[in-house]
Amino acid sequence: MTTVLVTGANRGIGLEFVRQYAADGYKVIATCRDPKDSKDLERVNGDVTVLPLDVAEDDSVAALAKALDKQPIDILLNNAGAYLDRGVGLGEFDYAKWSQSFDINVLGPMRVVEALVGNVARSKRKLLVFLTSQMGSIADNTGGGSYAYRSSKAALNAAVKSLSIDLKPREIACLLLHPGWVRTDMGGKNATLEVRDSVSGMRRVIESFELEQSVAFLRYNGETVPW
């Protein structure tokens, strides 16, 4: 049975990944900061295990790794993230939030990968997926603003590029995915894409992704995003 681990699984895109994978018979490990406050996860039918994880806390990541021990993970889906500087412009920077953005969006997934790369190596699929953003594209930035979010996603992209090189000898592939502008708490009510459509599209990209493509920066529909 294929095993998928999803971070930030209690709402939005992460929750929809859990729903869709569980409905299709996958074994799903759903992680979030507070499982006791995740009623939507409890209602998902299928082989779903809910475990606590705060990607910004070393001890929390270490505890997850200990709980999973040598459990193979076919697809490690780094979804947890934060957009903390929406609408903040030059002269208004909150450097504590900028630092927090990096801790969650860059260091968070790297903590998880370091802790669980052995689990991924034991699997058949051996795939690391990172939800990034088109806003992390330097070439595509024509709007300015969102300094903390944009720079944290650009940094994640750079880190995953290095990771893909270091892990290729172990036949572990890395995929960076832009989910589109999705109608979630982060995306807002004016977003143009339904969560289920974004996740369905990303799942198709994940399903067809091969080691030879590592590392790619792709949209939910498979189109390439410029770095």
Could you tell me if 2 and 75 are in contact, meaning their C-beta atoms sit under 8 angstroms apart? yes
pLDDT of amino acid 187: 66
Predicted local distance difference test score (pLDDT) of residue 38 = 87
pTM of the model: 0.95
For residue 162, give Cα distances in angstroms to 17, 158, 225: 26, 7, 18
Q: Report the alpha-carbon distance of residue 72 to residue 14 in Å, rounded.
A: 20
Would you say 30 and 49 are in contact if contact means Cβ atoms under 8 Å apart?
yes
Contact (CB, 8 A) for 96 and 90: no
Q: Measure the CA–CA gap between 205 and 1, rounded to whole angstroms.
A: 20
> pLDDT value at position 16?
97
How far is residue 172 from each of residues 34, 40, 114, 187, measured CA to CA in Å? 30, 32, 13, 30
Domains of the chain: 3-219 (3.40.50.720)
Query: Cα angle at 111 between 105 and 113, to 5 degrees?
Result: 100
Q: What is the token pair recorded at 83?
A: 């957009």
Residue ranges of alpha helices (H) inside 48-146 are 58-68, 95-102, 108-121
Q: Which residues of the chain have pLDDT under 50?
A: none
> Closest by alpha carbon to 81, among 129, 117, 138, 47?
129
- Joined together, the tokens standing for residue 75 give 């697809």
- Per-residue model confidence (pLDDT) at position 193: 83
Q: Report pLDDT for 37.
A: 85
> Which residues are annotated as catalytic?
149
Residues 6+ apart with CB under 8 A from 46: 21, 22, 23, 25, 26, 28
